[in-house]
Amino acid sequence: MDLQLTGKRVLVTGASKGIGLAIVRAFLAEGAVVTAASRRRTPELDATGATFVAADLSEPDGPRRMVETVLATDPRLDVLVNNAGGGTMPDGAFDDPLDGKDVDWAGAFALNLGSAVEATRAALPALTESRGVIVNISSDTARRPVGVPLQYAAAKAALNAFSRGLAEKVAASGVRVNVVTPSGTRTNLMEGGDGYIAQVAAHLGIDHADLLTAMPGQNGMLTGTLIDPDEIARAVLLLSSPTMPSAIGSNWVVDAGALKTA
């Protein structure tokens, strides 16, 4: 199936590993021209051949500077994938019902919501010119806020609301906005020694590997395994494709059945 992505100019944030890296690879395989943005580059990202832009999107001007850098080399932009995000538990927060202090909440919202809002704000004129696409990467915890830092789940829920409202506002200009919602995916958040699940395992006094094995079943994932990032990337490709012009304001769930609502 030809997704008509050849030659499309794509910007992917949070691209150095995990879901972002898989999205970069998927677009390149379709013949797109990809710029990959993240705080730092990785050997895996370098191996893709994508253009790299260093950007800390948690900083107030980080998203705007990133977009300006990308558009300075070519003013055309067809697809923006707001993938940057993540969450860890602040020190001592496991015994706090709010999962952290004001600064922790502000940081989580800056990365998981603010970065997408400000990158979109900066990129929207170029995307309007190209009648382009925005795909935001959310989380099933936005609808099921358990087992993760509360500020992360709340920020992702806000991202969903932002995406749906924006889709209504920009559809007339030809820009399509959609969301992909994964459940537990094989990323550093889950598998990394410094990720959130490693923090949970240490807090509970259990082995990280044992917790990872049990998690999919405990979370209601019917496959019993974590999701491969390539699956999320394929959903992003479809939503970005000109062959899907009626996919507007949608939220595609790729969760192995974890969300139990119709």
Cα separation, 121 vs 117, whole angstroms: 6
Beta carbons within 8 Å of 72's beta carbon, 6+ residues apart: none
Residue 92 structure tokens: 């001592």
Catalytic residue, chosen from 52, 152, 162, 196, is 152
Give 206's DSSP letter.
Answer: S
The crossing angle, in degrees rounded to 10, of helices 150-170 and 102-109 is 40
Residue 26 structure tokens: 């998927």
Output the CA angle 113-48-227, nearest 5 degrees. 55
| Catalytic-residue membership of 196 | no
Residue 68 structure tokens: 């300006």
- Neighbouring CB atoms inside 10 A of 12's CB total 31
Give the residue numbers annotated as catalytic, written as ranges: 152
